[in-house]
Amino acid sequence: MIEHIERLLKNRIGLEAESVGRTVIERAVRQRMSALGQQNLEGYWTTLGGSPREQQALVEAVVVPETWFFRYPESFNALASLAQERHAQLHGARPLRLISLPCSSGEEPYSIAMTLLDAGFAAEQFQIEALDVSDKVLEQARKGLYGRNSFRGDTLAFRDRFFHEQDSGGFLLDERVRKCVRLRTGNLLDPSLFAGEPSYDFIFCRNLLIYFDRPTQVRVLELLKRQLQEGGTLFIGPAEASLASQNGLQPLGRQQTFAFRMAPAQPVISVPTRAPVSRSRPAVAIPMRAIQPSRPRSASRALDTAAPNLQAVDVWSEVANLANAGRTDEARQRSEEHLQQNGPSSAAYYWLGLLCDAAGQGDQACAYYRKAIYLEPQHREALTHLAAHLEAQGDQTGALRLYRRAQNPEVGERD
């Protein structure tokens, strides 16, 4: 019977059960059965099938949001400058259009609003929409009252500028920020979701695609591309970067922002046979350092014996070109050949992790990311990708620890 419920959730919101784990769904079902006073799973299935309201309640029990203000701060730093560039291009002809989906309890769209206000934009110069399938979290967002868990990290000056601490507890978001965001219920799998809606200059859709199976990922990504203005920017999650690169999107090249635009019809940059690192750039969503042979921090950890020479650089340029052309099996074979010929390499393991991600092999990808991190404990991209996987599996503590390591080069603990 649980299989039927999993199928219903997949049809309704695109949820791939394996992405959250069956135990999460079973727990949500028990919670809803208890709320309805039902003891029999078959009876609950009958209720569920005939009640859209109960289906929504189950969705809200399964989708437990985990978010906070200015998550992935590099993305918001990039947004500030990109929005100013875009505004200048429009010459004030219309407001900037932005959307956050899923917006959860509002931390992301409100972070967008605060970013633009701090960048000097007037409220009438931009429009922010925020969508989520859960009415419950949208109601939280409308209240604008947040606990300390929504404020993480050391940079919290924005809280003093935009929030009012309440005697009863929590922090109330200033009305001028809340007015900048239009909150509404929406499901990306609804074909009429954007009917009649103009396209957007900036779309934030982060850490959603990882919960879908591959056909649904591609379908949703195509929908987002259609809603993106020419020259617009799509912000996605770190674990979704390779998917974007394989489906007509090109990274902006700003580290840790996971920002993409539509790729040009013809490649802008070609990789010469013997290009120095500074002249070559893979078209996949990988910071430049990922194609360079990596060195571990100390000799005691050194398993990577490959010398940083042009030949090694060419290998990863070749792998990048193969992956970008959709020839992922060949890219994977080339990476494995490099391991056999040259021994363990953090670059090789990181590439194999990305290629496994592209093939939907999440567990294998995590194993490769861990190997890359073993060889290079501060490999930021491997840390970030592995953290995104842990987050999707519900290990928020482990994910947060890895994100902190990626941000702080002084942290040297192993996972």
Q: Which CATH superfamily is domain 277-407 in?
A: Tetratricopeptide repeat domain (1.25.40.10)
Question: What predicted TM-score, i.e. pTM, was given to this entire model?
Answer: 0.61
Exposed e or buried b per residue across 126-163, where buried means at least 16 C-beta atoms within 10 angstroms of its C-beta: bbbbbbbbbeebbebbeebbbeeebbbeeeeebbeebb
Strand partners, 201: none
Q: What is the pLDDT of residue 190?
A: 85
Number of H helices, E strands in the chain: 18, 10
Range of lowest pLDDT (199-208, 282-291, 314-323)? 282-291
Mean pLDDT value of segment 6-34: 80
Reported as a single tens digit per residue, the pLDDT across 258-304 is: 899 987 654 433 333 333 333 332 333 433 333 333 333 333 333 33
Task: Report the distance separating Cα 251 and Cα 257, nearest Å.
Answer: 9
Mean pLDDT of 310-329: 71
Q: Is the peptide bond before 102 cis (omega within 30 degrees of 0)?
A: yes
In this model, does residue 395 exceed pLDDT 90?
A: no
DSSP state of 92: T
| Higher per-residue confidence, 374 vs 19 | 374
Looking from the CA of 340 toward its CB, the CA atoms found within 13 Å total 6
Highest mean pLDDT among 23-37, 49-63, 289-303 belongs to 23-37
More confident site: 250 or 400: 250
The rounded distance, in Å, linking the Cα atoms of 70 and 174 is: 16
- Residue 205 pLDDT class (50, 70, 90 cuts): very high
How far CA 11 is from CA of 187, 189, 222, 276, 359, in Å, comes to: 11, 8, 18, 48, 22
Predicted pLDDT of residue 325: 64
Q: What type of residue is 56? A: Q
User: In this predicted model, what pLDDT tens digit does every residue of 227-259 receive, in sequence order?
Assistant: 999 999 999 987 787 788 888 888 887 777 889
Of 142-146, 209-213, 295-299, the poorest mean pLDDT is in: 295-299
Under 8 Å between Cβ of 99 and 127: no
Strand order in the sheet with 200-204: 181-185, 126-132, 96-100, 200-204, 228-235, 259-262, 249-251
Question: Is pLDDT larger for residue 79 or for residue 274?
Answer: 79
Helix 346-358, helix 362-375: angle, nearest 10? 160
- Measured distance CA(33)–CA(2) in Å, rounded: 13
Of 23, 26, 102, residue with least CA distance to 65: 102
Q: What is the CATH number of domain 73-262?
A: 3.40.50.150
Maximum CA extent, the chain: 69
Number of Cβ within 10 Å of residue 359's Cβ equals 15
Which residue matches tokens 């209240």?
A: 143
User: For residue 4, which of 54, 42, 36, 39 has the smallest C-alpha distance?
Assistant: 42
What pLDDT score does 296 carry?
33
31 forms beta bridges with: none
171: which strand partners? 146, 165
CA dihedral sign, ordered 118, 122, 125, 127: positive
Q: Give the integer Cα–Cα distance in Å for 133 and 26.
A: 20
User: What is the identity of the amino acid at 267?
Assistant: P
CA distance 242 to 208: 14
Q: Where are the domains of the chain?
A: 2-62, 73-262, 277-407
Rounded to the nearest integer, the mean pLDDT of the chain is 80
Rama region for 153: left / alpha / beta (φ>0; ψ in -120 to 50; rest): left
Tens of pLDDT along 165-193?
Answer: 999 889 999 999 999 999 999 888 888 88
Partners of 173 in beta bridges: 163
